[in-house]
Amino acid sequence: MDQQSLFGASDAPAPEPPKAAADGPTTKLVAATDGSCLRNPGPGGWCWYVNDDCWSVGGEEETTNNRMELLAVLSLLEAVPVGRPVHIMADSSYVIDACTKWRHGWKKKNWRTSSGEPVKNRDLMERLDSLMDTHAPTFEWVRGHQGHPENEAADVRARTVATSIQSGLDDWDPGPGLTC
């Protein structure tokens, strides 16, 4: 939807949008992220969701719920232009803590936990580490499955992907992507 149909027609020329710090708009993007795994491990799906016109999904045949939760955040940050502020609503305290607290210590210890074990999902965490430094998103924990509209929308889409994969299908709608 273009700006004119979104805000209504106007005879006045549209004002110049503010310049972003880098490539993207300066308006804060607020998105919910969620992951779904039908068995753990098993078929799974992830989703980031802003609104019905701005969302994306994906999945893996053999995965874990934590991996899908991480991929939702990773995919969102990869889609957002550098310089655009991002606020992420997630129902996974694991993802929030991994991205905001634990990654610094893991990185210092060559991607090992405090007990010396290798960090699970290291491939995703290394990519997230770089994106976290580039984007500096803020996080908000939301209670899952309790009526939070954006979280519920992300959950339904992630579960749809997981169910499709479980059924041997790859016919899910990948979503419109970052259109907002």
* 44, 60, 155, 175: the active-site residue: 155
Q: Is residue 88 within 8 Å of 140, Cβ to Cβ?
A: yes
Catalytic pick from 34, 60, 129, 150? 34
Catalytic residue (choose from 62, 97, 104, 145): 145
**Active-site position among 44, 58, 60, 69:** 69
Coil, helix or strand for 82? coil
Q: Tell me the backbone φ, ψ of residue 45, rounded to 5 degrees.
A: -140, 160
Q: Which of 35, 44, 45, 59 is catalytic?
A: 35
**Catalytic residue from among 58, 59, 91, 129:** 91
The answer to whether residue 34 is catalytic is yes
Is the CB of residue 46 less than 8 Å from the CB of residue 34? yes
Instruction: Give the count of beta carbons closer than 10 Å to the beta carbon of residue 75.
Output: 19
145 is annotated as an active-site residue: yes
Among this protein's residues, is 173 annotated catalytic? no
In degrees and rounded to multiples of 5, residue 33 shows phi and psi of -125, 150
Catalytic residues: 34-35, 69, 91, 145, 155
